Amino acid sequence: MPSSPAHKRILLKLSGEALMGDDAFGINRATIVRMVEEVAEVVNSGVQVAVVIGGGNIFRGVAGGSVGMDRATADYMGMLATVMNALALADTMDKSGLTARVMSAIAIEQVVEPYVRPKALQYLEEGKVVIFAAGTGNPFFTTDTAAALRGAEIGAELVLKATKVDGVYSADPKKDPSARRYSKITFDDAMAQNLGIMDATAFALCRDQKLPIKVFSIFKHGALKRVVMGEDEGTLVYA
């Protein structure tokens, strides 16, 4: 095992849906504490960590609860769901000894500070964890695209998509048990095959910015640390 991290600054996309743990909705306490422990290990090894958190454990603009709603309104609800997750994550981080700052893409200043790029960079240099909330701030996008966008803006060396599956497969492994996992795949191939692990906007932005993505399971103990140490874990998506 290499002794020092392979990356100085990373953008970690944490699945909102994974926050539910075994519950049907919301935030499972043991799950969020375990996720934060994994993040703390990486921060304490000297890596600058920025986080984008999803909202699928509470609300998605395109999911059942939004049927019949105006799409943009539903998407704003989804973005607000990510603010709730960001607050819970920051609270859990602070209690674990990390210093977290939440920055929102939507103005909500009594609750969290607005996203200001130089301020975010300053926090990262100071060793604080920056949690980007409210996605891109725009409807019709996802938090995967927010991860690609913020990752490019802060000069992250890698986007880490920590999700419920352990990599990118030839088909959705939850629907097709015969799906094969790739150890690596190019952005062009992932987009040509229409692989549903991330949306095409996120893939295209990362491809154009030559910002690689690692997809791995947030439920696999130590996987985040192994990715950061440059070890073989999950799937690398590259230009």
Ligand X SMILES: Nc1ncnc2c1ncn2[C@@H]1O[C@H](COP(=O)(O)OP(=O)(O)OP(=O)(O)O)[C@@H](O)[C@H]1O
Interacting residues with ligand LLZGTKA7 (CB under 6 A)? 16, 54-56, 60-62, 74-75, 78-79, 81-82, 135-136, 138-139, 141-146
* Binding letters toward ligand X, positions 121-160, x by CB under 6 A: ----------------------x-----------------
The token pair at 210 is 């030559």
Contact 91, 98 (CB under 8 A): no
- 154 CA to centre of own chain: 14
State which of residues 89, 93, 124, 165 lies at the interface with ligand X (CB under 6 A): 165
Measured from the CB atom, the residue of 149 and 156 that comes closer to ligand LLZGTKA7 is 149
Partner from ligand X, ligand LLZGTKA7, none binding residue 139, C-beta < 5-8 Å depending on class: ligand LLZGTKA7
Tell whether residue 17 is a contact of ligand X (CB under 6 A).
yes
Measured from the CB atom, the residue of 21 and 127 that comes closer to ligand X is 21
For residues 31 and 27, give the distance between their C-alpha atoms in angstroms, rounded to a whole number.
Answer: 8
Measured from the CB atom, the residue of 92 and 145 that comes closer to ligand LLZGTKA7 is 145
CB count within 10 Å of CB 180 equals 11
Measured from the CB atom, the residue of 16 and 212 that comes closer to ligand X is 16
Partner from ligand X, ligand LLZGTKA7, none binding residue 61, C-beta < 5-8 Å depending on class: ligand LLZGTKA7
For residues 59 and 151, give the distance between their C-alpha atoms in angstroms, rounded to a whole number.
Answer: 24
For residues 89 and 69, give the distance between their C-alpha atoms in angstroms, rounded to a whole number.
Answer: 29
Q: Is 102 left (phi over 0), alpha (psi -120 to 50) or beta?
A: beta
Could you list the beta-strand ranges (E) of 88-135.
100-104, 113-114, 129-133
Query: What residues does 214 pair with on adjacent strands?
Result: 160, 236
C-alpha dist (Å) from residue 54 to 27, 170, 182: 12, 23, 24
Nearest-CB residue for ligand X:
54
Partner from ligand X, ligand LLZGTKA7, none binding residue 195, C-beta < 5-8 Å depending on class: ligand X
Tell whether residue 76 is a contact of ligand X (CB under 6 A).
no
Contact 226, 233 (CB under 8 A): yes
**Site residues, ligand X (CB under 6 A):** 15-18, 54-56, 143, 163-165, 168-169, 171-174, 195-197
